[in-house]
């Protein structure tokens, strides 16, 4: 009778166990090093659907935030430009209001200051950011102020007619007030240009349009040009002051109207800021949810690694003892 002992089956099972333990240890080590449960979505199992969905939502919010940031950059520059316009116009208005009424002409410095302010308004109406003109509506490649000389040419013609006696002061004021966009030097396509809007959220578009042919701007252009080109007429002193006062009213009304544009733009900016804040708050929650799905619990992974190391050591000792088995040891 012979006795044989085979440990092949046990050895095979132990080798298989070792392979599983080494694989699990490698996974635990990788997780500890990267801080993530898996380097691929497939490694997340059923949680991959949750992760992909949340990441898609985050990308959508990022797109909204990027669009909002771009629009808010525009509104900030527009706000500064409009405030600079009204500041220049009000300086002129203060100078006009301080002039003494009488038979003598005001200082020529009034004309000069008005011309300087007019050029400031004209230049600022062509304000651009990143190559996009901001006061032209959606015609962002077309300068709203197309011909800076046009308004002075047309106003000078009206003043000349008044000085020549071919029209009175009232007709001069009415004709200047009736000047259209192109006669004021504005782009011919400005009236037909669409608005500037930004998609800030699902179902939310914010309009921040301020066009150069709005009444406030055109009143400033008319009033400043009128003062810049107004000559004293000793043959019609009352008419002179009538034109002078009309120009002051245009400047004052224009500045007030631009103030309204600034306030409306601030409301649009506030809406954009609110939408951005909501998106950022939502992203914080989503990022935390993604972390719950994708990020590894470091303490748990470290404990698991230590347990696997212990199991691996025990397995190695078990295999070593199997290799020491022999028929002699068995008997």
- Enter the pTM of the model: 0.77
Residue closest to 118 by CA, chosen among 189, 210, 260, 219: 219
State how far the Cα of 82 lies from the Cα of 84, in Å rounded to an integer: 5
pLDDT of residue 48: 64
Give Cα 113 to chain centroid, integer Å: 35
Give Cα 318 to chain centroid, integer Å: 67
Mean of per-residue pLDDT scores for the chain: 84
Residue closest to 294 by CA, chosen among 58, 23, 59, 42: 42
The H-or-E segment that residue 4 falls in is none
Give Dmax over CA atoms of the chain in angstroms.
148
Q: Residues 179, 152, 74, 273: is their CA dihedral positive or negative? A: negative
| Superfamily the domain 61-286 falls into | f41 fragment of flagellin, N-terminal domain (1.20.1330.10)
State how far the Cα of 289 lies from the Cα of 52, in Å rounded to an integer: 12
Mean pLDDT in consecutive groups of 10 residues from the start of the chain, 331 residues: 50 58 55 51 57 80 95 98 98 90 76 97 97 97 98 98 97 98 97 96 96 98 97 92 96 98 98 96 84 59 56 59 52 49
Helix/strand/coil for 128? strand
DSSP 44: G
pLDDT of residue 56: 84
Residue closest to 60 by CA, chosen among 48, 52, 50, 72: 52
Output the 3-class SS for 12-30: HHHHHHHHHHHHHHHHHHH
Judging by DSSP bridges, how do beta strands 197-201 and 204-207 pair with one another?
Answer: antiparallel
pLDDT digits (tens, 9 = 90+) for 172-225: 999 999 999 999 999 999 999 999 999 999 999 999 999 999 999 999 999 999
Q: 211 to each of 136, 165, 186, 244, how far by Cα in Å?
A: 5, 37, 10, 27
pLDDT of residue 288: 81
């Amino acid at each position: 009778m012979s006795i044989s002992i085979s440990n092949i089956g046990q050895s095979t099972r132990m080798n298989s166990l070792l392979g599983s333990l080494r694989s699990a240890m490698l996974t635990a080590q990788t997780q500890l090093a990267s801080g993530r449960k898996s380097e691929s979505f497939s490694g997340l199992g059923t949680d991959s659907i949750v992760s992909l969905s949340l990441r898609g939502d985050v990308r959508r919010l990022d797109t909204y935030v990027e669009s909002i940031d771009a629009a808010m950059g525009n509104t900030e520059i527009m706000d500064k430009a409009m405030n600079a316009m009204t500041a220049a116009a009000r300086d002129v208005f203060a100078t006009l209001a301080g002039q003494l009424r009488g038979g003598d002409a005001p200082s020529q410095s009034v004309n000069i200051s008005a011309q300087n302010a007019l050029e400031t308004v004209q230049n600022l109406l062509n304000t651009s950011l990143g190559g996009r003109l901001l006061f032209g509506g959606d015609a962002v490649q077309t300068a709203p102020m197309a011909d800076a000389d046009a308004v002075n040419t047309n106003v000078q013609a009206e003043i000349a007619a008044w000085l020549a006696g071919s029209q009175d002061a009232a007709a001069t004021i009415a004709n200047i007030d009736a000047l259209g966009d192109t006669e004021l030097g504005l782009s011919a396509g400005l009236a037909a240009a669409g608005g500037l809007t930004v998609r800030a959220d699902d179902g939310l578009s914010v309009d921040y349009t301020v066009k150069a042919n709005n009444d406030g701007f055109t009143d400033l252009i008319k009033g400043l040009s009128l003062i810049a080109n107004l000559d004293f007429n000793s043959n019609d002193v009352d008419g002179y002051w009538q034109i002078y006062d009309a120009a002051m009213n245009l400047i004052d009304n224009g500045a007030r109207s631009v103030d309204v544009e600034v306030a409306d733009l601030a409301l649009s900016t506030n809406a954009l800021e609110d939408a951005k804040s909501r998106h950022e708050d939502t992203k914080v929650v989503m990022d935390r949810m993604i972390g719950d799905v994708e990020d590894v619990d470091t303490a748990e992974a470290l404990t698991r690694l230590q347990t696997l190391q212990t199991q691996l050591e025990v397995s190695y000792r078990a295999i070593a003892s199997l290799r020491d088995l022999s028929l002699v040891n068995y008997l």
